[in-house]
Amino acid sequence: MTDPLGVSKMITTATDLHGRRPAKGMRKAGIAGLLALLGLMFMGTVQAENVLEDLTYTAQPGGKVDITMRFAEAVVAPQAFTTESPPRIALDLADTRNAITQRRIEVGAGATAGISTVEAAGRTRVVVDLFRPASYETRINGKELILSIAANISGSTAAATSAATRNPTKQVANETVALSNVDFRRGKTGEGRIVVSFSGPGAAADLKREGDKIVLDILNVKLPPDQAKRLDVLDFATPVQYIETRSRGTGVRIDISAQGPFEQLAYQTGNEYVVEISPKREDEKLSKNAEPVFNGSRVTFNFQDIPTRSVLQLIADVSDLNIVVADSVQGNVTLRLINVPWDQALHIVLQAKGLDQRKQGNVIWVAPQAEIATREQALADARLQMEDKVELVSDYIPISYGNAKDIAALLTKDTQGSTTTGGQQGGQQQQRGFLSQRGTVSFDDRTNTLLVSDTPQKIIEIRQLIAVLDRPVQQVLIESRIVIATDTFARELGVKFGISGGYEDHNGNVVSTAGTAVGTDRMSNLALNNRFSGGRGLPVFNPATPATSPTGGGIAVPSLNDRLNVNLPAATPAGSFGLAILGADYLLDLELSAAQTEGRGEVVSSPRVVTANQKEAVIKQGQEVAYVTFQNAGGGGAGTATVQFKEVVLELKVTPTITADDRVVLNLGVKKDAVNRYIDNPGGGQVPIIDKREINTSVLVDNGQTVVLGGVYEVEKRDDLTKVPFLGDVPILGNLFKKTGRTDTKAELLIFVTPRILSESLK
């Protein structure tokens, strides 16, 4: 009977060593050691018996995909790493066998394309192919390992692995991750390797290329002060010139400057994120029109009229390649080549005889150019015919962020191309856009799903295209402030001055003075009445008896307004000073008035609006002012009254465009209206006069930067002087005959705008 563990063989070896039987004690010790060894082997076998039994996936709302892996025993945290090109997530499961018979599972939801499983060297690797780099996390629930892949575009992202405790609903809280080191190394082939180390897992990185600079944004990671530095690595002779690390918002930005044609590769393993930048291979730098480069071993040929097939045989012997020559290759050639590479000699012979070559591995097929072209055309036609015979499949693609109707129209949008129809040039034939000739696409509005029927290859291409198009649109918060500041100053100085009185001499002449002719006329009439009544001197006025009497309560004088010679008071006096001097036959009136006003005002309006990239947003606040107009007024009629409305609003209208370097182009219009006053309508009622403040512009702004779009600064200065001619010009005394006023008005309008790009929240 065969012993699968080889126990009998080991016992024999232990017993017959050196050709003699060991002692009894030694036999017991050997048996005990053997049993211990068998126990260890059995334990190792038990530990390696964890089996990946099942793998399923669930598409969640928003494009998130949950991949559930079920094991025979409790699972431990796997080793996870990602790659950028192609985008993939790989999980390594140590001491685990793969019991899944289906090697690849197609997903095609969100950012997830498919899942592959493979077993090698006692471990199982689960590889998730992505349409685009995406963030992810893993969690353990007993015998299940769940990998959650988000739909957001975030570059290569580490696994935020959270180990579950005995209570599956309770998970370990994530701690704040810090950047611990940025190191640079030079590879064997001249590539530069930047190694970014973190204090723990969970760092989410976004890598992008901007010209000759590579930008690595690491979100929600602290940057210690000693790591904010610039590394000059020019002396390492790699494409990398310098590496600069700095804080940016709540994360870290690393700028990597490179020179010359280069290619990049990024991957994450454990707590390290590695970026490799290597020189681009020489064959990729050659353009289609560049001269070929020959590097074969050198040969010397000097033949006169030798068959072409013989020359090709000689080149095959020198190059150690297999050359297959078509039967149609005939004719002779004369050549004299001294110390030239064999591949250049082959190139010259082919050109001279109108031949061409096709290489597969180490076999070269040589034939006339027309024959090769005919064969390749036949192969292309055969491929097209095979595509027409491939069985069509149906697929249902849910759309998360876009509109299924719009994407269906894009997929079926016809293009025009010039073809040959009926033997005539210039015919037009419509192409099927992104579908094959037999493919169809429709959509369901209710579930926002595309229904595609096409060949399997076209289905894969359409899914890849939709993965690029159906992505969350970035949003922008636009904050604006409209500030209207006013500053006013006014000062007035005014005066009231008058001399009134009367005098009658011995000859009976009456001289009277007042501020107006009405005043002097009154005093003259009073003097005549006094003379006729037998009184003496100027008339007096007795309040008890309105008639003039020779005695009474005082001098009869005109009213104040008739006594003033100068009447130029301040319009709205804040204070005044009055003086009156009453003599025997005269009265002096004087009043000084002054006013000064100062005013400062500020109106701040702050509209805010959030909108998607390249989508117009409008926000307005205010009122509609009503006013009445009249039609067909005339002929004594009032006409027909109509109530109309005029908007008086604060309005912000903006269309943002996010650039590749995270700046924002704003096409915006800002308006701030206000009612100034009302004026009378000739037909009746009043209509408003509206002050309008408006700006329309386009500006490029950094993310989070505040820019002053524009402003209007108005200054009005006014000096007013009202005076009595000639008398107002008399020094000092002239102030009694004039009024002065000064007005200063300042108004300023400023418009501030701050755009902020709203980042996606990484889970």
Distances in Å between the Cα of 155 and the Cα atoms of 82, 150, 206, 269 are: 10, 12, 4, 14
Are 70 and 143 a contacting pair, CB within 8 Å? yes
Band of residue 430 on the pLDDT scale cut at 50, 70, 90: very low
Backbone angles phi, psi at 45, to 5 degrees: -65, -40
Band of residue 367 on the pLDDT scale cut at 50, 70, 90: very high
pLDDT digits (tens, 9 = 90+) for 167-223: 333 333 346 788 898 999 888 778 888 989 988 877 777 788 777 788 888 887 888
Q: How many helices (H) and strands (E) does the chain have?
A: 10, 42
3-state secondary structure 246-279: EEECCEEEEEEEECCCEEEEEEEECCEEEEEEEE
CA angle centred on 661, ends 655 and 664, rounded to 5°: 20
CB-based burial of residue 477 (10 Å sphere; 0-12 exposed, 13-18 middle, 19+ buried)?
Answer: middle
How distant is the alpha carbon of residue 370 from its chain centre? 54
Question: 367-402 b/e with 16+ CB inside 10 Å = b?
Answer: bbeeebeeeeeeeeeeeeeeeeeeeeeebebbbbeb
Predicted local distance difference test score (pLDDT) of residue 247: 86
pLDDT digits (tens, 9 = 90+) for 119-172: 876 788 898 988 778 888 888 888 899 999 887 654 333 333 333 333 333 333
Give DSSP secondary structure letters for 146-209: EEEE-SS--SSB-B--B-B-SSTT-BPPPPPEEEEEEEEEE-TTS-EEEEEEESSS--EEEEEE
Q: Kindly state the percentage of the chain with pLDDT values over 90.
A: 6
Predicted local distance difference test score (pLDDT) of residue 522: 80
Element (H, E) at 71: strand 65-71
Q: Kindly state the percentage of the chain with pLDDT values over 70.
A: 80
The torsion region of residue 202 among left (phi > 0), alpha (psi -120 to 50) and beta comes to left
Higher pLDDT, 563 or 356: 356
Predicted local distance difference test score (pLDDT) of residue 68: 92
Residue 683 has pLDDT above 70, yes or no: no
The β-bridge partners of 209 are: 214
Distance CA 51, CA 568 (A): 108
Higher pLDDT, 555 or 418: 555
The torsion region of residue 685 among left (phi > 0), alpha (psi -120 to 50) and beta comes to left
Are 530 and 538 a contacting pair, CB within 8 Å? yes
Q: Give 351's contacts (C-beta < 8 A, 6+ positions apart).
A: none
Are 151 and 204 a contacting pair, CB within 8 Å? no
Predicted local distance difference test score (pLDDT) of residue 243: 92
pLDDT digits (tens, 9 = 90+) for 727-745: 888 888 888 888 898 999 9
Predicted local distance difference test score (pLDDT) of residue 368: 92
Distance CA 763, CA 757 (A): 18
* Both tokens assigned to 740: 């002065």
The torsion region of residue 403 among left (phi > 0), alpha (psi -120 to 50) and beta comes to beta
Distance CA 575, CA 561 (A): 20
Distance CA 694, CA 670 (A): 6
CB-based burial of residue 340 (10 Å sphere; 0-12 exposed, 13-18 middle, 19+ buried)?
Answer: middle
Start-to-end Cα distance in the chain? 59
The torsion region of residue 190 among left (phi > 0), alpha (psi -120 to 50) and beta comes to left
The torsion region of residue 710 among left (phi > 0), alpha (psi -120 to 50) and beta comes to left
Higher pLDDT, 543 or 489: 489
pLDDT digits (tens, 9 = 90+) for 246-256: 888 778 889 99
Least confident of 83-87, 460-464, 584-588, 640-644: 83-87
